[in-house]
Structure 1
Amino acid sequence: MNPGAGALAGVRVLDISSFLAAPQVATFLGDFGADVIKVEPPSGEALRRIGAARNGESLVWAMVSRNKRVITCDLNRSEGRDILRQLVAEVDVLVHNYSPTVLQRWDCTWDRFHAINPGLIMVSVSPYGHTGPLADRPGAGTMAEAFAGLTHMTGEAGGPPMLTSIPLGDTLTGVYGMIGALVACYGRDVNGLGGQHVDVSMYEPILTLMGSTLAAWDPDGDDPPPARFGSRLATGVPRNIYRTADNRYLCLSGTTDRQVERILALAGRDGPGDRAKFARMADRLAHNDELDTLVGDWVAQHSLDEAIAILVEARIPVAPVNDLSGLLVDAQVRARNSITLVAHNVLGTVPMATPAPVLSETPGAIRHPGPPVGAHNAEVYAALLGWDTHRLAQAQAEGII
């Protein structure tokens, strides 16, 4: 095996999607060696012009389009869609985020593509999936978080629901799209199942995050559905974010009987009365607020480093609440190279999460950031469609690419 080739070397992916969720399906495949060809309009994808930027260049584009070869093609023109159908015949996986209605209008449906390439894996990303009454409704990962109940479960008890401060829904969709593509490829290549349509909604991966909450609720019972509880859990205590003496924060979750026993000893609260209230799960859930306050008071007497050292020694799960600068210098992060500092000729240094998980023989890698518009037109169109320089120049002159 060639460690430099990547585990997915030989898999060719055509990415005609836009914005954040769907393109990350192709990004993650490219991280592990797939040849990803990104198609964008001749004027460049909208993502190049939105979000965080530096020196006039999009930082998000640099991240999401890493490891991809970039070509241009105007899919709003029939000539561009003809080219798309030719490209589909040459790839293993197609990633898109167009609605069923648009695909039908373009004659670019799954049935059409499957007829062209019976082994094609088509990954369709949409807010609500390609079936059901909301199949054509636009949206993004933010809507998915709200729709699937995560926003309802986020925020302080009694306070308003809150969105996360990161595009969680979009990136989680990318992960699930990658899983779907790989599962379908295995079914095709190992079990002879042929091509498949992988229908990835943005809200169903969020439902997976909600799995334990769903399973713990009895829809036929009298109890209301679970509600947000700040950083705490109604079913486990102590679990919270606590402020330290040096005005920093740690995250602690020690909810088993033995963990609580050790926490009580650290706090000097392991007498018979405290053990009666807190030692067993059922008892401490009835005194949730009191135990949480007890832990918070103990943490507040120690600096972050001191509290973590004591808790680690006592085998209590604990971690600092890092900001990004803290992550960059953390010894564990640096030892595992969990963040890659990617060089860009305009943006300078761009920190990106190193592809995960870590494969022992063919680890994922960030080979280059998102390229300029049309950077790989000549090589891709020549290699896949046999275009010569005259045909390429003609298509460019006609504004098709």
Structure 2
Amino acid sequence: MTSHALPLAGVRVLDLTNGKGELGTRLFADLGADVVRVESPGTDRSRGHGPVVDGVGLYHQVFNANKRSVALDLRRAEDRAEFLGRLVPGADICLTSLTPAEQAALGIEPATLLEHNPALVAVSLTDYGLTGPYRDRVGTEWTHLALGGVLSRSGDPGREPLMPPLDLAMQTAAVQAAWAALAAYWNRLETGAGDTVDVSVFESVVQGIDPGWGMAGSATGGVPAADGPRGRIDDGHKYPFFPCADGAVRLTLLSPRQWQGMFAWMGSPAEFADDRWNSLVTRFRESHVLYPAIGAMLRPKTRARIVAEAQRYGVAAAAVLTPREVAGNEHFAARGVFTRPPLAPGGRPVTVVDGLMEIDGVRAGHRGAAPEIGRDTAEVLADQAGRRPAPEPVTAAPRAPFAGLRVLDLGVIVAGGEAGRLFGDLGAEVLKVENLAAPDGSRQSMDGSAITPVFAWGNRNKLGFGLNVKDPRGRDLFLRLAAGSDVILSNFKPGTLHKLGISYEQLKEINPGIVVVESSAYGHTGPWSGNPGYGPLVRAATGVTGLWRYPEDEHRFQDDTTIFPDHVAARVAAIGALAKLVQRRGTAAGGTVHLAQTEVVLGQHAHVFAAESLAPGITVAHGNTGPGDAPRGVYPAAGDDEWLVVDVQGDEQWRSLAEVTGLDAARFPDAASRAAHREEIDAHLTAWSSALAPEEGTRRLQRAGVPAAKMTRITEFPDDPHLIARGTFRTAVHPLVGRPMPSENLPALFGRMPDPELRPAPLLGQHTREVAARLLGLGEAELDELFAAGVLQSDPRTAGLLAAAAAGK
């Protein structure tokens, strides 16, 4: 697909990311935007960002592909004047990841940029944001995972917590920044007014990886993570692993249908024939009986055979793959996930992920190599001469950007439900369409509650619409709704919409402007497309699980409690949908967005797989010992199960740490000598940190400019002074949830975007009658008839439950 056919063609983005956030602007470039990097040899950090193999900075090569480059050193007054006077006035979006101090020194804070172009969306992505008490702290991947609550739930009970692998924090923040920027840009298109957008990595981690106050998987049974024990827990029974002939596989047995498939696969053994095994609670409680029987059946089989048999029986399963196996996997090859451009010296090909999504059936991915600094300077500056945004009416008052949009939300559980919430929070009318015969799995409750906090968080700001689309009359009603809607969100098994008679090909006949988003675990084509998929299986199939372990324990994987990548996949799906809506403004035509969660993970870590292609086996489980410099690790602090993460990056930070902790910096002047004496340095730092509360250790090191963070538990978030200062959480109330619920606010701090409403999540079909009358024009007699026939539906408990709640019972 050429850039001109892509949805963001014509959008100009100035890219001042520098070692953080490049994935966000790469997403815009993949979607057709003209992304212009503004950089100089003296300030560039992207090219030295690891991994660097054979002299090739793979982070730069992967995440700066499809972009152009202008050589300007903003420290020089004349270059800064060129930037502010010629580039900024002609841009639609500007995204920088320079620190708050760097932005202030250069005079390029978002508010300043808007003075030069009031129609600009000026985005800042920093570690902790441009405001708040942590504003000037130093952050790294590891410190954000610690402070953002992810570390506290990773690892075995009774042991030191385990640092998750890869770049989950920084790459999730990059996606969050892209989503926030595009939402503000849509508002600009609607109002003519630009906006300031202040995104922090810290808050992106809190909201986008394992939100303790947000949507979680169906295996939780609706129990919020904040209600769990203070320490780490062994959740291996929820998504169990089984060793086999050539490695390990992971199974997911959550629904009664999946259990029945497993029972048949086992040969229908009498000891598991009792109906009580249909209960998820029973299977979890007696996993010590059930899992050995499953394990004995699987042990002599290969991973490929197990996954194939599981598919036949309707059981969700995935092989635990290494990064090297992922790159050579037949499913990903069939889908064209990887491409091999000649990026290494001598034209040697490098395996890179070819984009995160498909637009209108074509992969939106790699089109051109990352540019050399200044490759396009003359061309870009010549193009900018006299270019200004077209005059537009300006409505500067705060406005929910998606007001006037209607979304039909068929999404289920986390990845599906969360995408709808993102639109609903920003003003869209979202109809959550469900069938009583197959309700959203996230409605599952361990205690029989009609609404759990987990469901309430993920489905706020939606209207409940109960409909049996399998009935021809229900299908016709859905088509009538679709005729007046803008977006349809679905994460059913591929092919389901076609079977229901509501595929894009059928929908566009009645609404040429409809945008249909289909998200699945493995994609809508390829050998695995029909496999049931959940987040834990996605992690296993993409190499994440195999790296998430203590290095000395090859057979115990530790990603049981995380729900990555569901939340970030939902944001990527929302970005794709919104990009198509942007394109529709000029073409009046809708289209499709296809998303595979596996490919979101691979795309976030494309640099890792590129490194594997040049140096097979380079990516291993590091545990709590970070590669490269030292000290980098998780250190005990004073108190019960309290920990401090320290992540030194370079000689200057080492000297500062040495001064604070009493080490002799001169003994180990460079990273190589420090790495060689890691144990000695770690022993000293352990003695120092053990005597201090984690907050105090963090304060002392951060005051000296050393990246450090306490391991924060999610229950501490509502009282965190930085999150309070930035309004990260607000308190929601649901009439059927007997307690106040801390709930995430906006994805960033905006200058012209109001806080979202906190309308309660609906019971199934709670608003069916009202919506059918208002949008479909159905009268009372017709409504009664359709309800009696089971075409229109609502939870029969609705009236009683709401009446009891209103009466305070």
Provide TM-score, normalisation by structure 2: 0.46
Q: In 2, distance between residues paired with 1:303 and 1:103?
A: 55
Taking the aligned partners of 2:588 and 2:629, their CA distance within structure 1 comes to: 44
Greater displacement, 1-10 / 337-346? 1-10
In 1, distance between residues paired with 2:710 and 2:462? 35
Aligned to 2:601: 206
Query: 1:327: Cα distance to partner?
Result: 1.3
- The alpha-carbon deviation at position 6 of structure 1 amounts to 0.8
Q: What residue is the counterpart of 2:567 in the other structure?
A: 171
SS at match of 2:613: coil
Indicate whether 1:291 and 2:678 are aligned. Answer: no
Does 1:242 pair with 2:635? yes
Please report how far the alpha carbon of residue 395 of structure 1 lies from its aligned counterpart in structure 2 after TM superposition: 0.9
What does residue 345 of structure 1 align with?
Answer: 735
Point out where structure 2 has 5 or more consecutive residues left out of the alignment: 1-394, 793-809
CA contact (8 A) 2:451 2:763 kept: no
CA contact (8 A) 2:489 2:517 kept: yes
Distance 2:570 2:563 in 1: 11
Further displaced range: 287-296 or 322-331: 287-296
Pairing partner for 2:722 from 328, 332, 337: 332
- The letter of the residue matching 2:656 is R
Residue 5 of structure 1: how far off its partner (Å): 4.5
User: Is the contact between residue 244 and residue 300 of structure 1 (CA under 8 Å) also seen in structure 2?
Assistant: yes
| Cα separation, partners in 2 of 1:162 and 1:271, compared to 1, 3 Å | closer
Structure 2 letter corresponding to 1:335:
A
Q: 1:52 offset after TM fit, Å?
A: 5.9
Give the aligned partner of residue 47 of structure 1. Answer: 441
Among 194, 197, 203, the alignment partner of 2:592 is 197
**C-alpha distance in 1 between matches for 2:628 and 2:588:** 43
Residue 115 (structure 1) aligned with residue 506 (structure 2):
no
Task: Say which SS state the counterpart of residue 124 (structure 1) adopts.
Answer: strand
> Residue type matched to 1:385 in 2?
L
Other structure's SS at 1:352 match? strand
Question: What is the SS of the residue equivalent to 1:158?
Answer: coil
Within 5 A, what are the aligned runs for 1:57-206? 57-159=451-553, 160-189=556-585, 191-192=586-587, 194-206=589-601
Residue of structure 2 aligned with 1:384, choices 775, 778, 781 = 775
CA–CA distance in 2 between the matches of 1:306 and 1:264? 16
| CA deviation string 1:21-52 (max 9, x = no partner) | 11111111111111111111146724364156
Q: Which protein has greater RCO, CA pairs closer than 8 Å, 6+ apart?
A: 1
Partner of 2:649: 255
Aligned equivalent of 1:355: 746
Q: Secondary structure at the match of 1:57?
A: coil
Greater displacement, 252-261 / 289-298 = 289-298
Amino acid in the other structure paired with 2:728: S
- How many angstroms does 1:256 deviate by? 2.0
**Cα distance in structure 1, aligned partners of 2:636 and 2:704:** 19
Q: 2:479, 2:656 → 1: CA distance? A: 64
**Partner letter of residue 28 of structure 1?**
L
Are the aligned partners of 2:517 and 2:593 in contact in 1 as well (CA < 8 Å)? yes
In the aligned structure 2, how far is the partner of 1:269 from the partner of 1:300?
Answer: 16
Match of 1:226 among 596, 613, 619: 619
5+ long unaligned stretches in structure 1: none
1:288 shift after superposition: 3.9
Counterparts of 2:581 and 2:654 in 1: how far apart (Å)? 46
Alpha-carbon distance in 1 for matches of 2:701, 2:584: 49
Matched, 1:394 2:775: no
Say if 1:40 and 1:72, in contact at 8 Å, map to a contact too.
yes
Partner of 2:341: none
Pairwise CA RMSD of aligned residues? 2.3
Q: Which amino acid aligns with 2:591?
A: Q
Distance in 1 between residues matched to 2:631 and 2:779, nearest whole Å: 67
Separation of aligned partners in 2, 1:375 and 1:95: 20
Work out the CA distance in 2 between the residues paired with 1:394 and 1:4. 43
Counterpart selection for 1:375 from 761, 766, 782? 766
TM score, norm. by length of structure 1: 0.90
For 2:731 and 2:431, how far apart are their aligned partners in 1? 23
Specify the SS of the correspondent of 1:95.
Answer: strand
Shift of 1:99: 2.5
The Cα shift of 1:282 comes to 3.4
**CA offset at residue 342 of structure 1?**
0.9
Match of 1:11 among 405, 420, 436: 405
Partner residue in 2 for 1:322: 712
- The alpha-carbon distance between structure 1 residues 61 and 385, as it changes in their structure 2 partners (threshold 3 A), is same
How far apart are 1:204 and its partner, in Å?
1.6
